[in-house]
Amino acid sequence: MVYVTPDTTAVAPLHRAQAFWRPAAAGLAAALAGLGVAELTAAWIAPGASPVLTVGVLVIDIVPAGVKDLVIGLFGTADKIVLIVTIVLVLLLVAALAGILESRRPPFGRLLVVLIGAIALFAALSRSSASTLDAVPAVVAMGVSAIALTFLTTRLPVDHRTGHAATASAPARVPEQAPAQVPEQAPARLDGSGPDRRRFLVYTAITAGIGLLALAGAQFSAAATRAADAARALFPLPTPSVRAAAIPAGASLDVAGITPLITPNADFYRIDTALSVPRIDPTTWRLKVTGMVENEVEIDFAELLALPLEESTTTLACVSNYVGGDLIGNATWLGYPIRALLARAKPTERADMVLSTSQDGFTAGTPIEALTDGRNAILAVGMNGEPLPLEHGYPVRMVVPGLYGYVSATKWVVELKLTRFDQEQGYWTPRGWSAEGPVKLSSRIDVPRQGTSVSAGSIVVAGVAWSQQVGISAVAVQIDDGPWQAAALADAISVDTWRQWAYTWDRAVAGDHTIRVRATDAAGLVQTSATADVAPDGATGLHEISVSVSA
């Protein structure tokens, strides 16, 4: 049986080129729409996950050194632009191909689109600092392109289609029917002047236009982020008037794979409700202290920086951190004690809560007690020696040792309102989370990693433990159902930071084993083995991992 495609029929040769370019245009327009919307999504919600840029990074990672050197040699400092242009050109080429494929052999065009999207997804998620949000742009790219491609290819003028247009082009496909039986209206469409053709062109133009507009929007948004990021240099961090307690040499254990004592900013977990990171101009930022106060206080950024700022190392934990989870980090913060600002505002007797508000509307309700009892509760401007990164609250956030972030660590903070717990609620309280959120005593095993294989003999088990405001006094490790064995504790920085611990498991024998950790705080409280969910006020239970020991 002879398979005759429409463009090989007697009337078609004239239009063979069109039979390619229209589906190719559909593919291009669909890809532009997908790419544009995805880049815009990335610019808004996941600035690190631009599909083009993450694929670029992936290419740099996998390209052999020789090729890299050649490209750098050829293009010098333009190498990055060359890379981006190449990626976009390859994408457009593949997109054109996908259009042609989809018009002839659906759904292979869409499959090609999904394949490209999968590469972008892999590129976005394979970075060390990737978060789940980073998956969104690639998935959006995949979805939008595939839908647009289907939409456009099913609206191709009939002569381009073999699948959907099978009825219209049936005479060409069915050998027993002579070409003479091509429906009468076909030539009109084939010469490209029919209403089908115009409609297709309009749809394609609109699709491509959406893509281009979105790309422009993404550029605009990215430029605004770069400008906001550059503004961080406008106000260099002043010298602290009080330095952080020196970190004892014995606070960091020399164990391969253990969590670093200080979490680098780039690796610090990020949790917030902000779909797009607020970009605050530090020259217009103001903080107001309002509500139940004798004096309302207002302060701008320059004034804040001119105050005596104090440095302190504090661990910040999220209430949503499950036992063993990584929604916790430790940084050296620079900021102004909140109690000093409150002293100027003079809260009235009745106030028992400070409701802090972010520029984007998030609120946290913090007991006044925690802000005035002498702990390092600060309006932070610096994080590990640099101005706060945009996503960690630039220009100013709160950091309060001992309380989960949702009730204390307001980023992009613009107002502190003195009020009462029986009058106001922080953002998460009406959403099923407790009004008060002290951080619970907990501990985590970092090495060996869950589910890994280690060789028999002497195995170092290590991790971190924390009990803010109290301190850790002991950590014990249990192998399978054996006795609890004391781990060695690294020196503490302070009661407000996590503390490293290590235990050497001698004579580990081959087989599958379970390792458990349990901390005791300085008040003698032993970490409970009773499990509690993260809601409403933080998880409990013991972190447990399984490893397979090989002979």
Ligand X SMILES: Nc1nc2c(c(=O)[nH]1)N[C@H]1C(S)=C(S)[C@@H](COP(=O)(O)O)O[C@H]1N2
**Is there binding between residue 405 and Mo ion (CB under 5 A)?**
yes
Question: Who's near 493: CB < 8 A, 6+ residues apart?
Answer: 245, 247, 248, 251, 261, 313, 499
Binding mask 308-347 toward ligand X (x if CB under 6 A, else -) reads --------x-x-----------------------------
Q: Which of 200, 394, 406, 466 binds ligand X (CB under 6 A)?
A: 406
Query: In whole angstroms, what is the distance from residue 164 CA to residue 414 CA?
Result: 58
Query: In whole angstroms, what is the distance from residue 292 CA to residue 404 CA?
Result: 24
Query: In whole angstroms, what is the distance from residue 436 CA to residue 364 CA?
Result: 10
Query: In whole angstroms, what is the distance from residue 403 CA to residue 314 CA?
Result: 11
- Look up tokens 């609206």; give the residue: 155
Q: Which of 410, 429, 497, 500 binds ligand X (CB under 6 A)?
A: 410
**Is there binding between residue 191 and ligand X (CB under 6 A)?**
no
Reduced to 3 states (helix: H, G, I; strand: E, B; else coil), residue 191 is: coil
Of 82-90, 333-341, 402-410, 527-535, which segment contacts ligand X by CB under 6 A? Answer: 402-410
**What would the two tokens of residue 353 be?**
């809560």
CB 514 within 8 A of CB 467: no
Beta carbon of residue 302, minimum distance to ligand X (angstroms, whole number):
22
Binding-site partner at residue 279 among Mo ion, ligand X, none, CB < 5 to 8 Å by type: none
Beta carbon of residue 407, minimum distance to ligand X (angstroms, whole number):
8
Of 190-198, 397-405, 446-454, 471-479, which segment contacts Mo ion by CB under 5 A? Answer: 397-405
**Is there binding between residue 358 and ligand X (CB under 6 A)?**
yes
Of 208-216, 256-264, 358-366, 486-494, which segment contacts ligand X by CB under 6 A? Answer: 358-366
* CA atoms within 13 A of residue 322's CA, in its CB half-sphere: 3
Binding-site partner at residue 272 among Mo ion, ligand X, none, CB < 5 to 8 Å by type: ligand X
Reduced to 3 states (helix: H, G, I; strand: E, B; else coil), residue 361 is: coil
**Is there binding between residue 403 and Mo ion (CB under 5 A)?**
no
**Is there binding between residue 426 and Mo ion (CB under 5 A)?**
no
Of 362 and 505, CB closest to Mo ion: 362
Of 157-165, 403-411, 463-471, 503-511, which segment contacts Mo ion by CB under 5 A? Answer: 403-411
Of 412 and 501, CB closest to ligand X: 412
CA-to-CA dists, residue 350 to 289, 356, 408, 420, 543, angstroms: 16, 17, 20, 7, 41
Q: Which of 129, 193, 219, 273 binds ligand X (CB under 6 A)?
A: 273
Query: In whole angstroms, what is the distance from residue 307 CA to residue 410 CA?
Result: 20
Of 210 and 413, CB closest to ligand X: 413
**Is there binding between residue 124 and ligand X (CB under 6 A)?**
no
- Look up tokens 């349990």; give the residue: 518
**Is there binding between residue 97 and ligand X (CB under 6 A)?**
no
Count of CB atoms situated within 10 Å of the CB of 412: 26
Assign 3-state DSSP to the chain and report helix, strand, coil percentages, each to 5. Answer: 40, 25, 40
**Is there binding between residue 406 and Mo ion (CB under 5 A)?**
yes
**What would the two tokens of residue 330 be?**
């430790």
Total site size for Mo ion, rule CB under 5 A: 4
CB 160 within 8 A of CB 200: no
Beta carbon of residue 543, minimum distance to ligand X (angstroms, whole number):
19
DSSP designation for 148? H
CB 384 within 8 A of CB 332: yes
Of 150-158, 201-209, 253-261, 408-416, which segment contacts ligand X by CB under 6 A? Answer: 408-416
**What would the two tokens of residue 302 be?**
């320059």
Binding mask 253-272 toward ligand X (x if CB under 6 A, else -) reads ---------------xxxxx
Residues that bind Mo ion (CB under 5 A): 271, 318, 405-406
**Which positions lie near ligand X, rule CB under 6 A?**
268-274, 316, 318, 358, 360, 362, 392, 405-406, 409-412
